[in-house]
Structure 1
Amino acid sequence: MSHTDSTKLKRSHEPVFWGLFGAGGMLTAFLTPVMILITGILVPLAIISPEALSYERVHGFATSWYGAAILLVLIALPLWHTLHRIFHGLHDIGVKRGRDWQQVICYGAAFAVSVFVFTLLLQML
């Protein structure tokens, strides 16, 4: 068979969204327990000084280029994970018609919020 046959593989955008889904899920799975440990146990028990999470220190971190990049990743990837899960969950609960509008809403919202967060973080620098 030649490359001009009608049996060419159709390109899909799904691998991009599955990649963002996987990265967001992994990030959430690893960092959520750590954040609960730090902010819910170690700081209240004074094992970690509350001054370590003072407004000035957190603001200083968030307004540095590397802090803004880390915050963007920590916000955007779990958001992409969540909205990808919602998109596929709609199919699981029986919403099967018109998957195009569902993709536009779910992935469009993730993209819009990611751009919004990126813009806010740039303004903070």
Structure 2
Amino acid sequence: MQRKRPIEPFFWSLFGGGGTISSLFLPVLLVITGLAIPLGWVNPTYDHLKSLVDPWYSRLLIMVIVSLSMFHWAHRFRFTLHEGLQLHPYDKPIALICYGIAFGITLLSAFVLFI
């Protein structure tokens, strides 16, 4: 008789990857788009920004950053509701909603970036 394997390690790996990616790339993106461009430290043109995002691998990197960050959020939010608010009876619906939102935003980012 074969034992059913839990899917939990998969979501923990997405959580860890999302935390790593978020901590490495999001501060740089926030400084560039939130400080450097509005304060005039950098003045990129539309053509320059388009040339940065045009290659498929740049769009793929943006999608990975968005996707892993969202799965990091989903896992953290799920366990905040589960452990912090003691919503143990609602674990399955909370997990479905949190990971569903993360998956939906991943699909939306893929649609926006590649279509």
Normalized against structure 2, the TM-score is what?
A: 0.83
Partner of 1:111: 103
Query: Within 2, Cα distance between the matches of 1:39 and 1:101?
Result: 36
Give the number of the structure whose residues are more often helix, by fraction: 2
Equivalent of 2:43, from 50, 64, 77?
A: 50
Which residue pairs with 1:77 in the alignment?
A: 68
1:59 is aligned to 2:50? yes
Structure 1 ranges of 4+ moved more than 6 A: none
Alpha carbons of 1:85 and 1:36: their partners in 2 closer, same or farther (altered >3 Å)? same
Shift, 1:60, TM fit = 2.4
Greater mean deviation of Cα atoms: 103-112 or 60-69: 60-69
The answer (yes or no) to whether the contact 1:63–1:121 under 8 Å persists in 2 is no
Q: Mind listing any 5+ residue stretches in structure 2 that lack a counterpart?
A: none
Question: % of aligned pairs identical?
Answer: 29
Instruction: Quote the RMSD (CA, aligned, Å).
Output: 2.1
- Name the count of aligned residue pairs: 113
Larger radius of gyration: 1
For 1:8-66, what per-residue CA distance to the aligned partner results, in whole angstroms no more than 9, with x for missing partners?
Answer: 654111111111111111111122332344445555363xx322xx3222222223201
> CA 1:63–1:89 in structure 2 vs 1: closer, same or farther (change >3 Å)?
same
**Aligned-partner SS, 1:11:** coil
